[in-house]
Amino acid sequence: MSPLARVCQSSLRAASRSQARTIYTTKGHVAHDNFPFKYANKRTFGMKMGLGLGTAFLVPFIAAGYQLRKSAGGSN
């Protein structure tokens, strides 16, 4: 093996090790920190989740009621 090839291999190995260290050591590992939301305050989280799910559940019923009233399909 040529000296140039040995230098390239060792420098590539060193570069890959240093890059892996900087990627994975910038932040300490915290359990369940990979979620897009925070739930430190369980009461607030429950209220937000209930409001969001309730709104998502009611949207089709509100839309259907609006369409029926708009077309005079309902008795109102």
Please check whether residue 37 lies inside any domain of the structure: yes
> Quick check: 20 pLDDT over 60?
no
Mean pLDDT value across residues 2-7: 63
Q: Is residue 39 part of a domain?
A: yes
66 is a domain residue: yes
SS (H, E, C) 23-71: HHCCCCCCCCCCCCCCCCCHHHHHHHHHHHHHHHHHHHHHHHHHHHHHC
Query: Is residue 76 one of the residues assigned to a domain?
Result: no
pLDDT one-digit tens code per residue, 24-58: 555 666 666 677 777 788 899 999 999 999 999 99
Q: Is residue 43 part of a domain?
A: yes
Q: Kindly report, residue by residue over 57-75, the tens digit of the pLDDT.
A: 999 999 999 998 888 765 5
pTM: 0.47
| More confident call, 21 vs 65 | 65
Which structural domain range is residue 51 located in?
3-70
Domain count, the chain: 1
Is residue 75 in some structural domain? no
In a domain, 50, yes or no: yes
